[in-house]
Structure 1
Amino acid sequence: MKRFLIYITLSFALLLSIGFSLSLGSMNIPLKETYLVLLKFIGVSGNPAVNPLNEGIIMMIRMPRVLMGIMVGGALGISGAAIQGIFRNPLAEPGLIGISSGASFVAVLIIAFETLLFSGLSEVLGHYLLAFGAFAGAGIAALLVYHLSKTDGQANVITMLLVGIAINAMAGALTGLISYLANEQQLRSITFWMLGSLGGATWQNVSCLIPFVMIPMILLPFFSKGLNAFAIGEKQAEMIGLNPGLTKSMVVLLCTMAVGASVSFSGIIGFVGLLVPHLVRLIGGVDHKFVLPASALLGALVLTFSDLVARLVIQPIELPIGVVTALIGTPVFLYILIRDKKKLTH
């Protein structure tokens, strides 16, 4: 009953956040009109009496941004919970195994050297080149980490963690080198992309993102039993009939798909994958049957709210969303660490 109430509360809060995100901005739209447009969008009402200008702003500008925020936040939240389950480490996150650093390295490479190295691909992919490159970089980094961590055909979690740290360091160094060589305009683009933004959301981007995010979000909860078994150790999980190698492989693959696609469209957004699963466990327990879907819901809520703050706090300038998530997440995370430091050190 408690977990059902948590689901209801998170869903209601997300709905409120969606309403305010669609309503507020450089031009404020009454909440009543916003929800009438939203009801029309989901097919509940036919043709509400709404100002056509307001409807156009909601449908063409704000709705794609909100939907992207929901998908990216949900993907980061559920992937963070799954990665923490695999590593049996509450401080783990998708970036730990090189997903974010691989994506950022290739994205920065494209921003700085698009005309020199990627002119042919640019003609084929157009404005999707950056998204495609970031997604490919995330996949290559995760694949490299996974294969280098294999021992006797099985991926070792500790080795995977160490290889991930090495890949992150290498990608970070190369990203820094490219940033140093970039001109002023390129450097501004690189900085803004690495701090994250939903400002480039369009219906095309949303439609491209849907399969890459929805497939992992649907499939990852099916691994909740395996992730629960991982909490008592891989050997014990194997003794009760689970295949730890298959579970690790599938979870890493699905998380790479979700986070790589999200990062490719929104840039690097920190703290969501790390903090959200902590908060979910705090309010509802450690069972992954609850933690995974609840993390997706809370991740979507956190990111839509953060995007709203990023747009409103210093209008008409828009803050990078990664700055907002870090400013919100750091105090909360420090509070959790201080409160539970005895548990974490024993």
Structure 2
Amino acid sequence: MSGVSSKVRGNRASRSATVLSGYVPLPMLVVTLVILLLGLMGLAIGVGSVSIQQSTVWGVIANKLSLAWLHPTWFLPDWSMGRENIVWAVRLPRTILAATVGASLALVGASLQSVTRNPLADPHLLGISSGAALGAIIALLHTGMVLGAVTVPVFAFLGALLAMFLVLLVANFAVAHSAGRLILAGVAVAFVLTSLGSLFIFMGDHRASHTVIFWMLGGLGLAQWGQLWFPISALVLGSAYLIYNARYLNAMILGDETASTLGVPVERFRIVVIVVCALLTGAAVAFSGVIGFVGLMVPHIVRLLMGGDYRKVLPLSALLGAIFLVVADIVARIIMPPQDMPIGILTGLVGGVGFVVLMRKRRGVAL
């Protein structure tokens, strides 16, 4: 009897998602979310220890991009050089990084939940964040800034790549290419890399360990114009591949045998998706530290509202993930002025509570 009631609730949830999806065409929803994202990014640039009006924010951006000719009276340069530097050199790169990282983590979470058929899969499932943290620990405590300002991001990215290759190596050694066994390989690698990270912290200068801990809590303070090209390029290339293969991700949800009969090269496609997700996660974590729950929560919210078709789930997850992290960055900067709360703390709190509420609303229904 309970099984029947669960099935009925599942059908109701599916119908509600389909109805909502039918009311709002995908292009219109994408445009709406893009406009909302741009508005929130403008708001994020304006808030902080120094409040800046939106007219100044958009005026500085328009002048820097040589767009003032669109409406000369709107973008008259009546601001100080200090405010211009705050907008252009500090807050705009930070806000763009927040949107990029949020979109990347949400895309990775949605994709891994398909290829592993695990509703709890997120960007940190395969030990990638543990590898990135290990690289950052080595850079901050042992090598020093040998590469200048890019030392921590470069070492963190190399650590993420190391984690990815270790997972694939363990999977090949154990002949474990199924979804469940790949997850187990990732968990094992994560434990090993986390232990190594703790060892390097223990062996390093304890007076500098607070820097490592702050980085691992997540933050966007490393954002610089000269470094943004890397996470943005990873997002563009990774999202293009994943969205192009959305039909394969739809098939993978049905199981390996069904996907294989539909023409999907299951093992090869799963490994390629994991590699793409590792690159996206590594590029994001390298510049933002460890930020949790974005990749876990956002895809479930999108599926709850718009159904499970990955042709919709992927672009909407990217946009909603970007919006979520931009909003989180705004709150992190105003909740404890003049200090910035580490954004990883905030996303963990909000994501954890939100996910419990989501499970409560969908009890009896598979996420």
Count of aligned pairs between the two proteins: 338
Between stretches 240-249 and 16-25, larger displacement belongs to 240-249
Contact 1:154 1:245 in 2 (8 A): no
Q: CA deviation at 1:184?
A: 4.0
Which aligned pairs between 1:1-346 and structure 2 lie closer than 5 A?
2=24, 3-41=26-64, 44-46=67-69, 48-50=75-77, 51-53=79-81, 54-115=83-144, 122-123=145-146, 125-150=147-172, 155-344=177-366
- The unaligned stretches of length 5 or more in structure 1 are 116-121
**Stretches of structure 2 lacking an aligned partner (at least 5 in a row):** 1-22
Range with greater deviation from structure 2 (3-12 or 95-104): 3-12
- Aligned mates of 2:97, 2:209 — CA distance in 1: 25
Quote the Cα distance in structure 2 between the aligned partners of 1:285 and 1:63.
Answer: 34
The Cα offsets for residues 101-155 of structure 1, whole Å up to 9 and x where unpaired, read as 111112112222125xxxxxx54x2221211111111111112212322389772
Q: Quick one: which amino acid aligns to residue 155 of structure 2?
A: G
What is the one-letter code of the residue matched to 1:308?
I
CA distance, structure 2, for counterparts of residue 109 and residue 16 of structure 1: 39
The 1:253–1:41 alpha-carbon spacing in structure 2 relative to 1, beyond 3 Å, is farther
Residue 341 of structure 1 aligns to a residue whose secondary structure is coil
- Distance in structure 2 (CA, Å) of the matches to 1:34 and 1:338: 41
Q: Give the aligned partner of residue 119 of structure 1.
A: none
Structure 1 residue 34: deviation in Å?
Answer: 1.7
Q: C-alpha displacement at 1:163, in angstroms?
A: 0.8
In 2, Cα distance between the equivalents of 1:41 and 1:208? 22
> Which one-letter code corresponds to 2:158 in the other structure?
A
CA contact (8 A) 1:150 1:156 kept: no
- The 8 Å contact of residues 145 and 163 in structure 1, kept in 2 or not, is answered as yes
- Is the radius of gyration larger for structure 1 or structure 2? 2
Counterpart of 2:15 in structure 1 is none
- Cα drift, residue 9 of structure 1: 3.3
Deviations 1:191-218 (A, max 9, x none): 1110111012111121233222221122
Asked if the contact 1:70/1:300 (under 8 Å) is kept, the reply is yes
Stretch moving more, 144-153 or 192-201: 144-153
Aligned to 2:5: none
Contact residue 149 and residue 157 of structure 1 kept, 8 A: no
2:127–2:190 Cα contact (<8 Å) kept: yes
Name the CA distance, whole Å, in 1 between partners of 2:174 and 2:347. Answer: 40
- One-letter code of the match for 2:329? D
Separation of aligned partners in 1, 2:252 and 2:337:
47
Change (3 A) 1:56 1:109: closer
> Quick check: 2:328–2:343 contact (8 Å CA) kept in 1?
yes
- In structure 2, how many angstroms separate the alpha carbons of the residues matched to 1:244 and 1:18? 39
Structure 1 residue 247: Cα displacement: 1.6
Q: Matched residue of 1:94: which SS?
A: coil
CA positional deviation for 1:339: 2.2
Distance 1:228 1:41 in 2: 43
CA RMSD of aligned residues (A): 2.0
Q: Relative to structure 1, is the Cα distance of residues 155 and 288 closer, same or farther in structure 2, using a 3 angstrom cutoff? A: same
% identity of equivalent residues: 32
Q: Assess if the C-alpha contact under 8 Å between 1:75 and 1:262 holds in 2.
A: yes
| Aligned AA (1:28) | S
Q: Cα 1:225–1:126, aligned 2, differ >3 Å: closer, same or farther?
A: same
1:235 corresponds to which letter in structure 2?
Answer: E
1:4-40: CA deviation from partner (whole Å, max 9, x where unpaired): 4432332232122101111111111111222233344
Amino acid at match of 1:70: A
TM-score (norm 1): 0.92
